[in-house]
């Protein structure tokens, strides 16, 4: 592989292309390039290693876990933000001059009790100090006020889903891609919901986009569903949430509706975001949609299912990232 890498480099390939072509790490390809340039091709010949190949020691493994756990590859000069076996291998090589195959890197990560996971995305515009204030000061104040005034705290959000949205996988014979028949027209429905830690949900589904009036109509429905109780509604900073028209509606509700707003760019603080994972990804994205009416009816059915099984919503509030909402 070293000699093949040298051939590719002489043919004009760059180290990244060589690494990709041979299934090796980027660091390995740069090492070949440097050795070829400084010492010639003969220096690439394998040399006996009577002591055996280098291994990652226990101390190095502990340090590796710290390097990966609270950082992304970009913190160490890589172009990507996700840890892969290849990038972890590059890091090991750059730190300790140990060249490991991808399967060996995977074994090291499993020994450290790491597993491949789908990451949450966090906006770089987010203000970490504002998030801390929300969790430690602002939300506890809202919670205490809700107890004092006998109000129910809801978290609200909206989502749109198109008829051509797909998610999930299906089993099929190897080499035979399955086909799911669905409508070719693109239609969209907007969904609005608000949930409480008790497992209550209020929702609305309609065609078209959401504006201030649509949101106010939903708030009227939420107040009706609350059965006369005061509602403290926590939202993100969408334009129609903070508009003058919406704020005026809340002010004119005689205290029945009070609006509060999450820190900007902080969807992970809103449990209602997980409602859309349930409805969009786990339900609608796996269905075969026939037409606009079918899309709407399926969206309604998915939300009605959550209403009928409040334990699902209560489970959403137990997500680790939402632990600040304890009562």
Q: Which residue has the tokens 């949450």?
A: 120
Highest mean predicted confidence (pLDDT) among 109-113, 183-187, 197-201: 197-201
Residue 52: which residues within 8 A CB-CB, separation 6 or more? none
Average pLDDT over residues 62-73: 91
Q: Would you say residue 157 has pLDDT above 90?
A: yes
Predicted confidence band of residue 180 (pLDDT cuts 50, 70, 90): low
Do 232 and 258 meet the contact criterion of CB atoms below 8 Å apart? Answer: yes
Percent of the chain residues topping a pLDDT of 70: 92
Measured CA angle at 280 (ends 277, 284), to 5 deg: 140
Q: How many whole angstroms separate alpha carbon 24 and alpha carbon 103?
A: 12
Residue 261, strand partner residues: 235
How far is CA 304 from each of CA 40, 161, 224, 313, 326, rounded to the nearest angstrom? 70, 17, 17, 12, 26
pLDDT value at residue 126? 83
Average pLDDT over residues 108-112: 93
Q: How many whole angstroms separate alpha carbon 71 and alpha carbon 92?
A: 15
pLDDT value at residue 150? 96
**CB hemisphere CA count around 246 (13 angstroms):** 23
Q: Would you say residue 164 has pLDDT above 90?
A: no
Predicted confidence band of residue 110 (pLDDT cuts 50, 70, 90): very high
> 311-322: per-residue pLDDT in tens?
999 999 999 899
pLDDT value at residue 167? 65
pLDDT value at residue 175? 75
> 205-241: per-residue pLDDT in tens?
998 899 999 999 999 999 999 999 999 999 999 999 9
The per-residue pLDDT of the chain, averaged, comes to: 89
Q: Would you say residue 130 has pLDDT above 90?
A: yes
Q: Which of 261, 243, 249 is nearest to 222 (CA)?
A: 249
Highest mean predicted confidence (pLDDT) among 77-91, 145-159, 184-198: 145-159
pLDDT value at residue 53? 56
Higher pLDDT, 25 or 169: 25
Residue 33: which residues within 8 A CB-CB, separation 6 or more? 9, 15, 18
How far is CA 265 from each of CA 130, 158, 280, 281, rounded to the nearest angstrom? 10, 15, 21, 21
Highest mean predicted confidence (pLDDT) among 15-24, 51-60, 86-95, 253-262: 253-262
Question: DSSP character for 310?
Answer: H
- β 231-235/152-162 pair status: parallel
**Dihedral (Cα; 43, 48, 50, 56), 10-degree rounding:** 60
Average pLDDT over residues 123-138: 90
> 269-297: per-residue pLDDT in tens?
999 999 998 898 788 877 778 888 888 99
Residue 10: which residues within 8 A CB-CB, separation 6 or more? none
pLDDT value at residue 162? 79
Average pLDDT over residues 60-82: 88
Phi/psi zone of residue 168: left (φ > 0), alpha (ψ -120 to 50 degrees), beta? left
Q: Would you say residue 298 has pLDDT above 60?
A: yes
Average pLDDT over residues 99-119: 89
**Dihedral (Cα; 14, 15, 17, 18), 10-degree rounding:** 120
pLDDT value at residue 246? 98
Do 163 and 182 meet the contact criterion of CB atoms below 8 Å apart? Answer: yes
């Amino acid at each position: 592989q070293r000699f093949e890498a040298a051939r590719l480099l002489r043919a004009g390939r760059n180290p990244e292309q060589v690494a990709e072509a041979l299934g090796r790490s980027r660091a390995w390809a740069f090492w070949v390039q440097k050795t070829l340039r400084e010492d010639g091709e003969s220096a690439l010949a394998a040399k006996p290693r009577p002591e055996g190949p280098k291994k990652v020691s226990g101390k190095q493994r502990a340090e590796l876990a710290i390097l990966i756990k609270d950082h992304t590859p970009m913190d160490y000069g890589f172009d990507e933000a996700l840890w892969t076996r290849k990038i972890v291998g590059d890091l090991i090589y750059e730190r300790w001059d140990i060249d490991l195959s991808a399967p060996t890197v995977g074994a090291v990560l499993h020994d450290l009790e790491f597993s491949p996971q789908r990451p949450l995305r966090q906006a770089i515009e987010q203000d970490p100090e504002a998030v801390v204030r929300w969790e430690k000061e602002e939300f506890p104040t809202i919670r205490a006020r809700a107890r004092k005034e006998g109000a129910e705290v809801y978290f609200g959000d909206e989502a749109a889903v198109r008829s051509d949205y797909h998610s999930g996988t299906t089993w099929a014979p190897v080499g035979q891609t399955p086909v799911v028949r669905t409508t070719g027209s693109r239609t969209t429905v907007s969904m609005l919901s608000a949930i409480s830690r008790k497992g209550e949900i209020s929702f609305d589904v309609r065609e078209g986009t959401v504006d201030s009036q649509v949101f106010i109509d939903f708030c009227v429905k939420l107040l009706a569903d609350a059965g006369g109780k005061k509602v403290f509604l926590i939202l993100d900073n969408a334009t129609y949430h903070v508009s003058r028209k919406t704020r005026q509606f809340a002010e004119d509700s005689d205290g029945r509706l009070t609006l509060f707003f999450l820190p900007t760019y902080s969807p992970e603080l809103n449990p209602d975001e997980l409602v859309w994972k349930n409805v969009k990804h786990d339900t609608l994205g796996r269905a075969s949609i026939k037409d606009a009416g079918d899309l709407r009816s399926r969206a309604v059915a998915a939300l009605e299912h959550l209403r009928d099984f409040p334990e699902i919503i209560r489970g959403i509030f137990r997500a680790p990232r939402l632990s600040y909402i304890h009562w």
